[in-house]
Each structure stands twice: as structure tokens, then as C-alpha cells.
Amino acid sequence: MSDTAMAAEGLKEYGMYINGKMVPSLSGRTMESDDPFKGRAWAVVPDGNTADVDAAVAAARAAFDTGPWGKMTAMERGRLLRKLGDIIARDAEEIAQCECRDNGKLYREMLGQWQYLPEWFYYFAGMGDKLQGSTIPSDRPNFFIYTRHEPIGVIGAVTPWNSPGLLLIFKLAAGLAAGCTFVVKPSEFTSVSTLELAKRIEEAGFPAGVFNVVTGQGAIGAHLVEHPGIDKVAFTGATETGKRIAAAAAKNLTRVSLELGGKSPNVIFDDADLEVAVNGAIAGIFGATGQTCMAGSRLLVQKNVHDQVVDLLIRKTRTIKLGDPMAEATELGPVATEPQFTKVMEYIDIAKAEGATCSYGGQRDPKLGGNFVQPTIFTGVHNSMRIAQEEVFGPILAVISFEDEEEAISIANDTRFGLAAAVWTQNVHRAHRVAHRLNAGTVWINAYRVVSYAAPFGGFKESGLGRENGVDSIKEFTETKSVFVELSGVARDPFRLG
């Protein structure tokens, strides 16, 4: 599209961000970013190629190896992180609007996220200078031994379309605090908020090359993952994509951290506060239109309260207001992309074909059309059904009944995923007992969809490798170095170990 055409359409135009500058793709190509609510383009970003990736990696490599970033103390990096947090807090409304237009999530949810995200930078700003090594009692006479935590180097971050800002900052805050540099490949559907973040990083005073963004189709993400100049790949997205990334990164023995899919169980026992539990179940699956890795897509309900819970669930779901994600009253927005909408509708057909009962919803919203799917509840689900085993990533809830605690745990753990889970009960002993036995990286008790910069986040089994957030996450961006210091100055036998 020409500059004149873009101006006539009122489209915002962005460059990719390489070595401290917004630049066009070396190919000269662009691609449109569509507003899923309005069903039309609202912004234009570069459609990059492998040469753009090479340029970004070279910039990040130089910034790490020879630039001023590598010479900064952890305290100096911390000051920049705190300043960036202040800038994001100032501009949270603007960035949230961009993200809302990119992926159709509720503006009030995006605003809440961006108002909270500065805390990640404040938290990790104070952690870089706490990366303390240790002294090791020496078993060698006249030797002093100590360790250091050194930054890994250049990070290739590949982020998804559902929460591009949040899931990037999970990686970025810790990685920058550790002293790493970044090349980010956001989803081709949702690149704008990452480019808006790049502007704030520049304003905060980070040296050129520390943070780089390449935009485009999946091929450039594949090139980034396989690039020999990348020291670690940090990925959030689908499990099958994560497996391909791990295999590609292995060619160079590049380290990986993978935050992948989920099929998270939300377990309601008969002694739970059912009103509160149902509200939690609704938030767990219909929040973000179900497009979140931690979605509580399997609702496990004890048999003696099953009908009561389902009735309450349907009654509350009927009141969910679909509409413009920018409107304060809207509670459920559109599915973010046309391919994802098609996938969600296919899974509704699969569930019906397998014998599940569609107790509510199950179709495109007749009033809004577009990518709007009614919040959908399936009952009569068995855990062997595809609707109970495969990640749908949409507003589709599978309700499964269980007899007792042992059966609940068995069903909850009977999946290849292990990202999140929840337990709803007023019995404190049961709550902790069941939480301990659930195979998931995060377990909520009488709550759902809560995260914190201070709490590690990641999955068991096929939900991923490594952890983001929390004290230990910064070490995911470091290497440990052992240093042996000869104290005696006496020449040693060069042909003898030790």
C-alpha cells in the first residue's frame, strides 16, 4: 500500500526497530494489522525477511560484546529499568489501546495489564545487583575458588498474539536485568504494542542494539531461532511450535525456555462456595475470550453438585455481554484472528460429533457476526474426548463430573499438559492436599488467572521448560562461571591435573 493510500485510510505506519532506529524492511514489503472487532486494517508494519533478522542479531551482538551495555554495572542497568517502568506507567492507556485494536481483547483488561507491567521492571531493577556468586571451600592447597553469574548473551524472543506485551515483559525484565540483549519476533497479527514498547525503551535511554524488533511472517521467526548469533531462545506459544523450536535450536545447542499450551482443570468440590466457584470458572474460560494458555477449559465438578453448578453456570453465562472491546460494558470480545475463529468453530463440531452436549452457545454470535463466538458450555464430556484433551484457545468450556477426590485428581492429571489448575473447596486440608498432587506449574486455591512478577510461572510436561518471573527466573538468563585463583605463585606440574 502506498503512503498516500495509507494516509487516506487513516492507518498508523510503523517501522521495525533495529539498532536504536525505526527502519523499513530491507525487502520494502509491508503487512496490515487488522482490528478483529471492526474487521479492517488499522496499522501497517514491515514484512521482514532473513536479512532484517541478520541485521538485528548483529546489532544485539555488538551491543552485548563491545557496546556500552556490556560495560554497565547492574546498578546502572537497574536505573534504566526503573525509568522504563515509569514511562510505561505514564503511557499505559495508549499502549493498551494499541493492543486492544491488534487482538480484540477487552480494553479494560489490557489497561489493567499495562498498568501492572511497570512492576516487573521495578522488581527486576533491584535484582541485577543481587546476582551473587559464591566462594567454594578449596580442596586444593593455595587455591581460592569462586563463581560468577554472567549474562548468556543475545536472546531471541518469539511471542504470541494473545498477550504480546505481558508475555514479552515476562522475559524482557529479567533478561535485561541480567545484562542480556534482545531480538524480538512478535506475532505477525499483533506487532504494534511491541513496536510501541521499543519507542519507550529508546526514550528511557537504553543503548542502541540492546532491544531490537523484527516483524513479519513465520519464516523470519524460524530464521531467528536457528541463527548462530542467538544464545538463547525464549518462546511463548503453541506446544507443537515449541517442539519445532526446540529441535531447531538444538542444531546450535542454543538454550531454550518454552512457555507452551495448557488444558487446565478447574476442580469444584461439593463443599465449595458454588457462587464464587462458578464466577471463577467463568473468568477462567471466558476471560480473554478463552485465548490464554492458562484458560480453565476443563471444569471438573463433583457429581452431587454437578447439576446445580451447571444451572448456575448457564444462568450467569447468558448475561455475558459481547461487543466492542473498547466499551466498558463489554465482557467478551471477538476471537483475535480468522484462522483461530475457524479452529474454534471446528472444535465445536468435533465436540458435538463425539457426543458431548452443547448446553449453551455453540455458534457464531448471530447479532455481531464477524469473529464473535458465543460463550459455549459442553456437558456430558468424558476426559478422553478431544474437547477435553486438546487446546482449543477459545471460549469453549468442557464440564466433566467426578465422584471423589481421587477421581478428581486422576482426571485432572490425565492430560499431556501441566500449565495451571485450580481447586475450589472450603476444606483447608483438602485444598492443600489436592494442590500438592496436581501436576501443574501454577495452582490456585479458590481463585483463577492470577499472576505476579514475584511468583515463578511455567509448565509441567508438554506445557514447557523453564520458569519466568520470580527470584530464580533471572538465572535463566545467566551462565555460571567457576574461577580458580592460584595463590602461591609456585610453578605446577603441567602434566598433572590438580
Q: Whose grid coordinates read 598433572?
A: 496
Q: Whose grid coordinates read 513479519?
A: 216
Taking the CA atoms of residue 17, residue 45, residue 238 and residue 180 in that order, the dihedral angle to the nearest 10 degrees is: 0
Pairing of strands 211-213, 376-379: unpaired
C-alpha span between 182 and 297 (Å, rounded): 33
3-class SS at 240? helix
C-alpha span between 213 and 473 (Å, rounded): 23
Q: In what order do the strands lie in the sheet with 135-136?
A: 135-136, 143-151, 478-486
C-alpha span between 297 and 94 (Å, rounded): 31
Residue 255, φ and ψ in degrees, nearest 5: -65, 150
Task: Record the cell numbers describing residue 179, joined without a space.
Answer: 545484562
Q: Give the distance between the most distant pair of CA atoms in the chain.
A: 86
Q: Helices 164-178 and 74-90: crossing angle, nearest 10°?
A: 160
Residues 6 or more apart whose CB falls under 8 angstroms from that of 182 comprise 60, 154, 155, 156, 157, 171, 172, 175, 176, 210, 211, 212
Q: Helices 107-116 and 92-103: crossing angle, nearest 10°?
A: 140
H helices then E strands: how many in the chain?
16, 21
Residue 100 known to be catalytic = no
Task: Record the cell numbers describing residue 227, joined without a space.
Answer: 541463527
Cα angle 191-196-201, degrees, rounded to a multiple of 5: 125
Q: Catalytic one among 98, 100, 180, 293?
A: 293
Q: Which amino acid does the sequence have at 41?
A: A
* Start-to-end Cα distance in the chain: 68
Q: Helices 92-103 and 192-204: crossing angle, nearest 10°?
A: 160
Identify the H or E element spanning 465.
strand 464-465
Q: Do 453 and 123 meet the contact criterion of CB atoms below 8 Å apart?
A: yes
Cα angle 29-33-34, degrees, rounded to a multiple of 5: 140
Q: Catalytic one among 99, 188, 196, 259?
A: 259
Q: How far out from the chain centre does Cα 5 lie?
A: 35
Residue 259 known to be catalytic = yes
Taking the CA atoms of residue 200, residue 203, residue 209 and residue 211 in that order, the dihedral angle to the nearest 10 degrees is: -20
Q: What is the DSSP string of 309-378?
A: HHHHHHHHHTTPPBS-TTSTT--B---SSHHHHHHHHHHHHHHHHTT-EEEE--SB-TTT-TT-B--EEE
User: What residues are labeled active site?
Assistant: 259, 293
